[in-house]
Amino acid sequence: MNGTVRRGNLIVLSGPSGVGKDTLLAGLLKRVGGVVKCLTATTRPPREGEQHGVDYLFLSVEEFERWIAEGKFLEYARYNQAYYGTPLHLVEESRAKGLDVILKIEVQGGLQVRQRVPEAILIFVQPPSMEVLRQRLTARGTDTPEQIERRLRIAEEEMRVMPQYDYLVTNDHLEGAIDLLRAIILAERARIRKE
């Protein structure tokens, strides 16, 4: 074995709103070393308690658009009048140190990453059923019934993209889903042949 540092993997985690991606990711980060979640840049204003450089990189619209023009994003999109994007330099710095980088992004962003980084590992998280997803969205208490219906329609569209992902994790049992994510990451680290 030579003394070079293994280049970290790039992992995309996508799935419908309310499927539990944040909870899964928090559990995963406690169980697997050498994995980092990449900060997202956004033009939306910080919510109460959020800090620049901790929760997000908060940029002005002008600054974000300059970064787009300069090619500084691995992927980006616009949602609800705000930009969101993955800063390329943060991904590259972490991967060069041998850290696996996880991006929690929506499916269009995931497919953008696949185009730019073909060896990226794309993991789709699905609910056990649409009815369970409806229950979870309702239990959060953050959306109106109309917003919940809209999220469910978006979820159905996102699930049609699932076959373009590498792995599928069903979040029906939290501990089992975290264990499966951990197994995927460890197996990918041991992979000899990359497609």
What percentage of the chain exceeds 90 in pLDDT?
Answer: 71
pLDDT category of residue 50 using cuts at 50, 70 and 90? confident
- In this predicted structure, the answer to whether residue 151 has a pLDDT above a threshold of 90 is no
Q: Which residues contact 32 (CB under 8 A, 6 or more apart)?
A: 182, 185, 186
- Would the CA dihedral through 85, 41, 119, 162 be positive or negative? negative
pLDDT digits (tens, 9 = 90+) for 96-133: 999 999 999 988 889 999 999 999 999 999 999 999 99
Apex CA 121: angle with CA 90 and CA 116, to 5°?
60
pLDDT digits (tens, 9 = 90+) for 182-194: 999 999 999 887 6
Look up tokens 């991967």; give the residue.
95
Query: What is the reported pLDDT for 62?
Result: 97
How far is it between the farthest Cα atoms of the chain?
58
pLDDT digits (tens, 9 = 90+) for 4-28: 778 999 999 999 988 999 899 999 9
- Every domain of the chain and the residues it spans: 10-190
Query: What is the reported pLDDT for 130?
Result: 92
> What value does the mean pLDDT of the chain take?
91
| Amino acid at the residue 88 | L
pLDDT category of residue 73 using cuts at 50, 70 and 90? very high
Pairing type for strands 100-104 and 57-58 reads unpaired
pLDDT digits (tens, 9 = 90+) for 162-183: 999 999 999 999 999 999 999 9
pLDDT category of residue 147 using cuts at 50, 70 and 90? confident
Retrieve residue 56's tokens.
Answer: 């997000």
Is 10-190 a CATH 3.40.50.300 domain?
Answer: yes
